[in-house]
Amino acid sequence: MKDEGGGQGARDDGVRPLLFATMTGSASFLSSASLLIALQLLSRTFTFILNQALLRFVSPQAFGTASIQFELLLSTILFLSREGFRNALLRAWPREGNSKKDGPTTVSPQVANLAIVPTVIGVPLSAFLAYGYKATCSETTRHQPYFDQAVAVYAAAAVIELLSEPMHIRFACPALPADRFLNFYP
């Protein structure tokens, strides 16, 4: 590939000089890093403003129920449904096709089938834990406005998050962590 501008340093073999490739990669990395930092800053600022508004308009008891008890319900459903399978599948993924010359790793049917198990476990578990939470919480918590609907929304949110679990496992498994990092930051 010739330099059409007739400038110095043109190479006929189509390979960029190492210094240029390193500087381009560094500039790309710095640009990506600065965008990620800006995104984090904007996200945290927006979250802070929403939390301040929430603190001003919601009673302390309702805020405490949502931020502690409902989050505990959500975390419990997700942990019991997916963490064991996620860790096992991340360690047991076949590694034979990971080199660049072999091509992409194919998903084995066993891994694809096991990636669905957290969703299958999570749906009845979320219904059971939501019912159990409603049955065992205190009277003052149970008599808050929209309590039943809020518990149902948190249980549904856990199920929706579990529906994405097979795709998370398919994305996270094929490559070693260093390979995944290098694919995002070439």
The pTM is what? 0.65
Q: Rounded distance, CA 152 to CA 146, Å?
A: 10
Q: What is the DSSP string of 89-110?
A: HHHH---TT-STTT-PPPPPHH
The one-letter amino acid code at 158 reads: A
Contact 81, 122 (CB under 8 A): yes
CB-based contacts of 172: which residues, under 8 Å, 6+ apart? Answer: 90, 180
Contact 118, 82 (CB under 8 A): yes
| DSSP state at residue 156 | H
Q: List Cα–Cα distances, 5 to 20, 47, 118, 164, in angstroms.
A: 17, 50, 58, 50
Q: According to the model, what pLDDT value does residue 180 have?
A: 52
* Per-residue tens of pLDDT for the chain, all 186 residues: 444 554 555 555 555 554 444 445 566 777 778 888 989 999 999 999 998 998 898 888 888 888 899 999 999 999 999 998 888 887 766 555 444 544 555 567 777 788 899 999 999 999 999 999 999 999 998 999 999 999 999 999 999 999 998 888 877 766 555 555 555 444
Single out the residue of 164, 155, 153 nearest to residue 129, CA to CA.
155
